[in-house]
A and B are shown apart, each in its own frame.
Chain A
Amino acid sequence: MEVVVPPDAEIIASVVNGDIDAFTVLVQRYRDLCFRFALRILGNRDDAEEALQDAFVRAYRALPACRDRARFGAWLYQILVNECRTRATRTARRDRHLVDVTPDVADPASHEDSAVSEEIEYALAQLVPEQREVFLLRYVEELGYDEIAEITGVGVSALKMRAKRGCERLRELLEGVVR
């Protein structure tokens, strides 16, 4: 039996024609990847879920304006990045960029691995938001600079500079923790 996975463009056409159930397919397709980014950038599970939920609602409402439907994922990332920036402003005001390590989230292979992850996430939280954003997109989500430029609206050379500074800072903070 062949399992047919409908492409994004086909699903979007259904959604635009009024099939809200079809949008759930897109939510399920992109939910976890997007959530990981939001969680790492905001450092807080509640904020990450709220940001992602708002991003999906915005995407749904703006779906007719999505020109390149085959690249829905990149378009959704753009919305999410903006949503996270807005929320980061609020969290910065509250001065609570805390790393939320919830025991039931991940399934760490060992306590030691979990401790290393915590150290990394803490170091990540020390980066300025611009550097954290590009680090996550480049080295966690493994996107190319051109794609990151499209998502963030920042030029490639500026992105590389931010990545350079972010990497240097992380190495300073984590020297001896990660080998």
Chain B
Amino acid sequence: MEHDSDEPSREDAEFARQLGSILRTAESPRPGFDERVRAAIQDAQRSQRSQTSQAAPSAATVLGLRPRVTPIAAWRRRRSVTLPPAAWGALAAGFAAIVSLGTLSVARRANMMPQAPGGEYGVQTQPARHAAAVAVAPSHDTVYVVRFVLTDASARTVSLVGDFNAWAKRATPLVAVKPGVWSAQVALPAGRHEYAFVVDGKHWVADPASEHLADDFDTPSSIVTVGTD
């Protein structure tokens, strides 16, 4: 059978397997790791409770809505509450100071893991997109419903990836609420969250108007902050 030139040659693969077997030694964190993880989880829970117990102004407050304390599991039910179009607009405007609204005139479209400068992926100019992450309504004292919107007339599918869904591109698909306008609502705890959009299952799109982070592969992500000052 002819060798696929895009994967390691038989000799290189055999060499790599040999290296792998040498590196496959047992490694363990230092003693007490399990307890440290448990303590970190408890710290995170305390921190979250502390943050949310502070009376921070929210979109609902701005609109005169009355935030209710409900079980976390109830956020889905509350999500079905419909607001008049004017209220959605006001909510979005109310959060503009917290959450950046962006217009993508030039979007970077690359693979899920774009290369470091000089690598194998290119940058393409795409039709204008509008992207926004808008915290629309706190439905719980610890969970906020955030609406993510991307405008892209050429997209066939759009999904949302972020630290809240383990960057899993199938976890949170956006739906086309009208032609070219994609939207999803996600329940997020108060705090700072990193996110990006994935268009057509492979093109990574961040909101250029938001605060950005880039990993060591030069992959940008956007940041949304909800429920904190």
Contacts and interface: CB of A to CB of B under 8 A. Distances in A.
Interface stretch (B21-29, B52-60, B99-107): B21-29
Interface in A115-158: 116-117, 120-121, 124, 128-130, 135-136, 138-140, 142, 152-155, 157-158
Interface string A57-77: 111111001110000000100
A116 B19 CA distance: 10
Chain A interface residue bracket vs B:
35 or more
Interface stretch (B132-140, B165-173, B177-185): B165-173
Contacts of A160: 4, 6-8
Contact of A20 (B15, B29, B41, B169): B41
Interface in B184-229: 189, 202, 214-217
Contacts of A154: 111-113
Nearest to B37: A56
Contacts of A105: 27
Contacts of B37: 24, 27, 53, 56-57
Given A82-B167, A178-B15, A35 B27 contact: yes
B43 to A, nearest CB: 9
A171 B15 contact: yes
Chain B interface residue bracket vs A:
35 or more
B19 A120 contact: yes
Given A129-B216, A153-B113, A53 B33 contact: yes
B2 interface: no
A164 B8 contact: yes
19 contacts: A31-B34, A32-B29, A49-B29, A62-B166, A85-B215, A88-B215, A89-B216, A129-B216, A130-B217, A138-B16, A140-B20, A142-B20, A153-B161, A155-B111, A155-B202, A171-B12, A174-B15, A178-B15, A178-B19
Interface of B: 4, 6-9, 12-13, 15-20, 22-30, 33-34, 36-38, 40-42, 44, 111-113, 115-116, 119-120, 161, 163-169, 171, 189, 202, 214-217
Closest 10 CB pairs of A and B: A139-B20, A153-B112, A160-B7, A167-B12, A36-B27, A167-B8, A89-B216, A139-B16, A85-B215, A167-B16
